[in-house]
Structure 1
Amino acid sequence: MMRRVVIGTAAVSMALTMAACGKAGGSSSNSASSGDNKTIGLLLPENSSSVRYESFDKPLIEAKVKSLCADCTVKYNNANGDATTQKQQFDTLVSQGVKVIMLDPVNATGTASWVTDAQKKGVKVIAYDRLAAGPVSAYISFDNEKVGELQGQALVKALGANAKSANVVMINGDDNDPNAGQFKAGAHKVLDGAVGKIVYEQSGEWKPTVASQKMGAAITSLGKTGFQAVYSANDGMAAAIITALKAQGISVPVGGQDAASDAIQRILTGDQAYTIYKAYKPEAEGAATIAVNLLHNVDVTSVATATTASDGTNVPSLLLTPVVVTKDNIKDTVIADGLYKVSDICTAQYAQACQDAHLQ
């Protein structure tokens, strides 16, 4: 299965290159006021709970845009988790004449008026990673309910024979993020009936500090032996949850999502049971290809081959497949795909764990 993941990533990358080949260099106008067809806006949501946006999405998108359109540029802003800031960033791009904006919304339910107003001005908005409300031109993400299902399956597997009697704490993502709702739904689809009971469930708001507080509240409410596993919606929150558990001398399976480098290290040491790897490169390169195509009025359905129902329409979509990462398949997933080098993971502190996992 892992070989198919790597081959699939390469195939997507090749398809994206072919889809945009020969289409990107035809722009002639360089005037923002008349409609900028050399600039793509990129608005990402935050950089505190997940390091992926700055470390992977941004550089991968910028590189792919440049490879497809040598004289194109990407105007980038990060909202640092503030929806009001992101709205100002969005409005600035529109006022500058940028005609294609990739938007990963802080609050996906609150963007309908932005996107509608932008559309009236000839601006095409791509919903990146999260489905923004409003008439978006395309949507790129993963099968997010499947992500939740994989998280649930991995947690059940980590519990082993004790799963049926296990009490589970759930720390979900932000209620304003539609992805978080899909992760939660997928996880419940698996966990409900497969474990004893969900004994505590709260939103961690994608904030490690909030997740730590909620974990502390769960320990106070349930006691140190009142639960046998913790579902965390992402790795940033999982890190804080694990720290809170260790402070109380509690060791139970904790899972996450995003395949952050520190999560891979925690998996190696046994502190974290699993993460979910969503291959950022095909997602970022798919979004970049669609953006360049939209910039030059090229049909996007050769890349966005699926559709997603949104606001009464079917939005052209590229939906990719996530993968569970445990200690057993680190080498065949995040290392094989080039997300990390062994040297990135196997620092001095983790040398023995890496040897035990046959990474060194």
Structure 2
Amino acid sequence: MGVALALSACGNDDEASDDSGGGGGGSAAEGKVGVILPDTESSVRWETADRPALEAAFKKAGVDAVIQNAEGDAGKMTQIADTMIGDGVTVLAIVNLDSESGAAIQEKAKTAGVATIDYDRLTLGGSAEYYVSFDNTVVGELQGQGLADCLGDKAANIVYLNGSPTDNNATLFAEGAHSVLDEMTNFKVVGEQAVPDWDNEQAATIFQQLYTAADGKVDGVLAANDGLGGAAIGILEGNGLAGKVPVTGQDATVEGLQNVLAGTQCMTVYKSATQEANALAETAIALVNGDEAETTGTTVDSSDDSEVPSILLEPQSITKENVGDVIADGGQKMEDVCSGEYAAMCTEAGIS
């Protein structure tokens, strides 16, 4: 798919840092890349997976890079972007918190002559040169099919616990899941709601309300990621139904994988942070060098029907049978997933 990082490393250990640009003296590319991650609440992946993968990718390429986190604050993301632009980044990649603030950041960058990349989430109405992500419609399709496989052919009531309404990815996840499940006449949607800012505490409250409104007659939960899935599992557990009502997820987090092993979550979706980080690094390097990045196609910006050149990667469905694939790929460490009570479950699943 043209995303392997091909440039040789020649930088020093400081070239990708948490809060400031690195040395850059030996950079293979003349330029500086800024990356702004969204938060630490919507998913643990941003700090535990994406940051280290990005740091490694830019270090390997010998590229001067700075990576910061907006901590869920759009105002803070704007301030970080302003500082990065003022400090001379030549490429700015963001995971927007919402399309409006993201588009405003990209417009500022464009005015300053800074190229921009949408990382993981498309900024509707934005001006990014490229969009680097996984195929998010396919993510939803995998979730929908995963839930269908766990429910089988029986009649079942389904609740959708969707991601943040300000995240275009959440819209794509839901569309993908609906495209699969809506075709199956044995399934009935008895509740559906988006969770603001992917907040897990709000997710628990929302799911409790949906569960109550359905008089407890919920047979399956289409949860958009592992955090939301975990919130639903907590409510189900309180009603003696954990493990009896299939729940989906996404991100293959440690908790999500443990829930899959325990049988309280029927599946998750793995998206290799290393693969996505390498794709971003390669795209940023192309822009730094004034070249065109190799793409896999385009993505339609639904706000104006424009087409954004894109690098879209393929996600993987994970069930109890292939949890080991995530560990083997480096997505999680065995000692983290298989700790404590989960050690025996890992052994049973053939993970050793």
Shorter-chain TM-score tier: 0.7 to 0.9
Distance in 2, Cα, partners of 1:51 & 1:59: 12
1:1-360 pair list within 5 angstroms: 15-17=4-6, 20-21=7-8, 37-69=30-62, 72-133=63-124, 134-162=126-154, 165-194=155-184, 195-205=186-196, 206-224=198-216, 226-251=217-242, 252-301=245-294, 304-310=295-301, 311=304, 313-331=306-324, 333-360=325-352
Distance apart, 1:328 and its partner CA: 0.7
1:283–1:320 contact (8 Å) kept in structure 2: yes
1:105–1:132 contact (8 Å) kept in structure 2: yes
When residues 147 and 109 of structure 1 are mapped into structure 2, their CA distance, relative to the original with a 3 A threshold, is farther
Distance apart, 1:314 and its partner CA: 3.3
Distance in 1, Cα, partners of 2:105 & 2:313: 27
When residues 290 and 212 of structure 1 are mapped into structure 2, their CA distance, relative to the original with a 3 A threshold, is same
Distance in 1, Cα, partners of 2:263 & 2:296: 39
When residues 122 and 326 of structure 1 are mapped into structure 2, their CA distance, relative to the original with a 3 A threshold, is same
Structure (1/2) with the larger helix percentage? 1
Distance apart, 1:135 and its partner CA: 1.4
Distance apart, 1:50 and its partner CA: 0.7
Distance apart, 1:199 and its partner CA: 0.4
Letter in 1 for 2:272: A
Letter in 2 for 1:116: E
Distance in 1, Cα, partners of 2:317 & 2:100: 28
Distance in 2, Cα, partners of 1:257 & 1:92: 33
1:23–1:298 contact (8 Å) kept in structure 2: no
Describe the SS at the equivalent of 1:348.
coil
Distance in 1, Cα, partners of 2:306 & 2:178: 28
Describe the SS at the equivalent of 2:192.
strand
Distance in 1, Cα, partners of 2:138 & 2:203: 23
Letter in 2 for 1:168: I
CA deviation string 1:232-275 (max 9, x = no partner): 10001111111111112223111100100111111111111100
Structure 1: which 5+ residue stretches go unaligned? 1-10
Distance in 2, Cα, partners of 1:336 & 1:12: 22
Distance apart, 1:76 and its partner CA: 1.9
Distance in 1, Cα, partners of 2:252 & 2:9: 34
Structure 2 counterpart of 1:7: none
Q: TM-score, normalised by structure 2?
A: 0.88
CA deviation string 1:161-206 (max 9, x = no partner): 32xx100011100111110000000111111132421101001221
Structure 1 counterpart of 2:16: none
2:10–2:60 contact (8 Å) kept in structure 1: no
Distance apart, 1:21 and its partner CA: 4.9
Report percent identity of matched pairs.
38
Distance in 2, Cα, partners of 1:21 & 1:356: 41
Distance in 2, Cα, partners of 1:114 & 1:48: 22
1:128–1:139 contact (8 Å) kept in structure 2: yes
2:116–2:128 contact (8 Å) kept in structure 1: yes
